Amino acid sequence: MTAGSSPPLDLAALIADPDTRIIVCCGAGGVGKTTMSAALALAAAQAGRQVVVMTIDPARRLAQSLGLERLDNTPRDVPAAAELTAASGGHLQAMMLDMKRTFDEIVEAHSEPARARQILENPFYQALSSSFAGTQEYMAMEKLGQLRETGNWDLIVVDTPPSRSALDFLDAPHRMSRFLDGTMIRLLSAPGRAGGRVYLKVVGAGLAIFGRIINKILGGQLLKDVSHFVGALDTMFGGFRQRAQATYDLLRQPGTAFLVVAAPEPDALREASYFVDRLSSDQMPLAGLVLNRVHPSTAPGLSAGRAEGAAENLSPGNSRNDVLAASLLLVHAQRSRTDAQEQRLARRFASAHPDVALRSVPAAAQDVHDLDALRQIGAHLTTPVPPLRKTKTRAKRASVRPTA
């Protein structure tokens, strides 16, 4: 492989490989990550896979592009895809993570009915399951583990949240352990474990002072809610850790593939570099980079300078055809410069990450809002393409003095 180029990313082989069981798409916000996830899931279903695509992004773009009115926490069929997948025997379903519903399902599945009802009705639990920092990422790990355990699909495509929080779910097992083992949780759970007024005698005078301070800050009812919640949920904590760690380990296995999605822009490619480095440090299996919304030149043999020169030579006053031709030449010149700039950025990324495979997808003429547009993007993703073009350099001619 030559310097400054990237190996091509063969997504057709990736989705056709039965050993590929999970594909995680991550990237900065606004780069088309949700669209790439849906398009790749559709292409995999067309190739005969039984696919579910799960979005963690709370925006509802995935449902709209799949022709569905809404998505919820349960995988739903995509009826519009049935005709496209009928010949191959593939099947496509989609869902959107509902972190509270997922948390409720865990409580219901791992608690006795009376204990589950006590937890679900606890005010602190209701706040924790709806908006507590880190809950969404942990529940994403839980839901992914649930989907994998059922065995209903041979491929799960995960669309992660925008920006760097896209990889926060990788930290879920460790963050959950730190939260559950933290001093604050142990102190807050002490009243529930020790029982009422006995609490002050059990934990000692120093902890009693702490309890009175917390009681003033949080209020007696909230402190009671927290301690009762932790006490009720105490038997489930070990299971939380184990399931999150099992899913984390699953993501590190060869059957998982991470795809970083980026736009050919400096900020987006900087974020892509962060994702690549983070995945590498965590020893996660990186499939490659999808460079979305590129603007390849339609006539690479005609430089921007020559196009502008030709446009100037066409007198606007001669004919409408000349005016139209001059306009088209100027448009081409701008497109050519955009193409050159995007290639420079891509080569810079490739120089920093020479082993990362790359696939580019041209910008669509309009926003993707239906299944046909997703099918076209899926075709771009899975059609073999050459790697990035290298910039042509003018060779220096050496002057050779004739011998006598």
With CA atoms as reference, report the closest residue to 90 among 81, 98, 80.
Answer: 81
Categorise residue 195: left if φ over 0, alpha if ψ from -120 to 50, beta otherwise.
left
Q: What SS3 class is residue 55?
A: strand
With CA atoms as reference, report the closest residue to 82 among 62, 67, 72.
Answer: 67
Distances (CA, A) of 21 to 14, 17, 170, 335, 379: 10, 9, 18, 39, 20
> What confidence score (pLDDT) does residue 205 get?
45
Alpha carbon distance 125, 127 (integer Å): 5
With CA atoms as reference, report the closest residue to 337 among 366, 308, 367.
Answer: 308
Helix or strand (DSSP H, E) at 95: strand 91-96
262, two tokens: 């980026």
24: which strand partners? 158, 258
Residue 305 contacts residue 312 (beta carbons within 8 Å) = no
Per-residue pLDDT of the chain (404 residues; tens, 9 = 90+): 333 478 999 999 999 999 999 999 998 888 988 899 999 999 999 999 999 999 887 667 778 888 888 899 999 999 999 999 999 999 999 999 888 898 888 888 877 888 888 888 888 778 777 766 667 777 888 899 899 999 999 999 999 876 555 567 677 666 666 665 555 455 555 554 444 444 444 444 444 544 454 444 444 555 566 666 666 655 565 567 777 788 888 899 999 999 999 999 999 999 999 999 999 998 999 999 999 999 988 888 888 888 788 878 876 556 777 878 888 888 888 888 989 999 999 999 999 999 999 999 999 877 777 899 999 999 999 987 554 444 444 333 333 333 43
400: which strand partners? none
Residue 236 contacts residue 107 (beta carbons within 8 Å) = yes
Q: Which residues contact 105 (CB under 8 A, 6 or more apart)?
A: 73, 146
Alpha carbon distance 321, 270 (integer Å): 44
Residue 291, classified by CB atoms within 10 Å of its CB into exposed (0-12), middle (13-18) or buried (19+), is buried
94, two tokens: 């989609």
Rounded to the nearest angstrom, the gap between the alpha carbon of residue 150 and the centroid of all alpha carbons in its chain is 22
Alpha carbon distance 31, 275 (integer Å): 14
Written as one letter, the residue type at 34 is T
> What confidence score (pLDDT) does residue 228 get?
65
Rounded to the nearest angstrom, the gap between the alpha carbon of residue 45 and the centroid of all alpha carbons in its chain is 19
Alpha carbon distance 376, 334 (integer Å): 25
Alpha carbon distance 224, 188 (integer Å): 9
48: which strand partners? none
- Tell me the pairing of strands 76-77 and 22-27: unpaired
Please, what are the domains in the chain? 11-382 (3.40.50.300)
227: which strand partners? none
> What confidence score (pLDDT) does residue 190 get?
54
DSSP assigned state of 396: P
